[in-house]
Amino acid sequence: MEVLRYDIVVLGSGLAGLRAALEASLTSGGRLRVAVVSKLHAMRSHSVAAEGGISGVLYPKETGDSFELHAYDTVKGSDFLADQDAVELLVRLAPEEIRLFDHLGTPWSRLPDGRIAQRPFGGMSIPRTAYAADKTGFFMMSTLYSSLQRFDNVEFFHENFATSILMEGGLFKGVTSVDLESGEMRVIMGKAGIIATGGAGRVYSFATVSQASTGDGISIAYRAGIPIKDMEFVQFHPTGLVPSGILISEAARGEGGYLVNSRGERFMSRYAPQRMELAPRDIVSRAMMTEIMEGRGFTDEESGLGYLHLDLRHLGDRVFREKLPMIREITRKLIDVDPLEEPIPVRPATHYTMGGIHVDTYGQVLLNDGNPVPNLWAAGEVAAVSIHGANRLGSNALSECVVWGRLTGAAAASYAMKASDTMLELSESLARRVKEEESRVFDKLIHREGGSENPYEIRRGLQRLMDDKVGIFRHGSTLSEAWSQLKRLKERFRGVRLEYTGRTYNNNLRDVLETASMLDVAETIIVGAIARTESRGAHYRLDYPKRDDANWLKHTLVYYRVGEEPVLAYTPVRIVKWSPEERRY
Q: Catalytic annotation on 237?
A: yes
What is the rounded distance in angstroms from the CA atom of residue 286 to the CA atom of residue 545? 12
Find, among 563, 568, 583, the residue nearest to 232 by Cα: 568
What phi and psi, each to the nearest 5 degrees, are found at residue 476? Answer: -55, -40
* 416 φ/ψ sector (left φ>0, alpha ψ -120 to 50, else beta): alpha
Which residue(s) pair with 36 in the sheet? 10, 156
Question: Is the separation of the CB atoms in 373 and 172 below 8 Å?
Answer: yes
Q: 257: buried, middle or exposed (CB in 10 Å: 19+, 13-18, 0-12)?
A: buried
Total H helices, total E strands in the chain: 16, 23
Which residue pairs, CB below 8 angstroms and at least 24 apart, start in 198-201? 198/12, 198/14, 198/16, 198/45, 198/46, 198/47, 198/380, 198/381, 198/382, 199/46, 199/352, 199/353, 199/356, 199/381, 199/382, 200/353, 200/517, 200/518, 200/521, 201/234, 201/350, 201/351, 201/352, 201/353
What phi and psi, each to the nearest 5 degrees, are found at residue 364? Answer: -80, 135
Residue of 237, 406, 532, 541 with catalytic role: 237
Task: Report in angstroms the alpha-carbon separations of 52 from 21, 70, 441, 548.
Answer: 24, 17, 39, 33
Task: Report in angstroms the alpha-carbon separations of 527 from 285, 353, 551.
Answer: 23, 15, 17
Length of the chain: 585
What is the rounded distance in angstroms from the CA atom of residue 57 to the CA atom of residue 334? 36
Find, among 178, 232, 41, 165, the residue nearest to 512 by Cα: 178
CA–chain centroid gap for 413, Å, is: 24
Please give the DSSP secondary-structure letter assigned to residue 422: G
What is the rounded distance in angstroms from the CA atom of residue 376 to the CA atom of residue 393? 27
Strands (E), 67-216: 118-119, 129-130, 154-157, 160-168, 171-179, 185-195
Q: Catalytic annotation on 253?
A: yes
What is the rounded distance in angstroms from the CA atom of residue 347 to the CA atom of residue 342? 16
Find, among 293, 328, 319, the residue nearest to 308 by Cα: 293
What is the rounded distance in angstroms from the CA atom of residue 94 to the CA atom of residue 89? 8
Question: Is the separation of the CB atoms in 343 and 284 below 8 Å?
Answer: no
Question: Is the separation of the CB atoms in 34 and 157 below 8 Å?
Answer: no
Cα angle, residue 432 at apex, residues 428 and 434 outer, rounded to 5°: 115
Residue of 46, 119, 253, 286 with catalytic role: 253
Strands (E), 183-284: 185-195, 228-229, 234-241, 258-260
Where in the sequence numbering do the catalytic residues fall? 237, 253
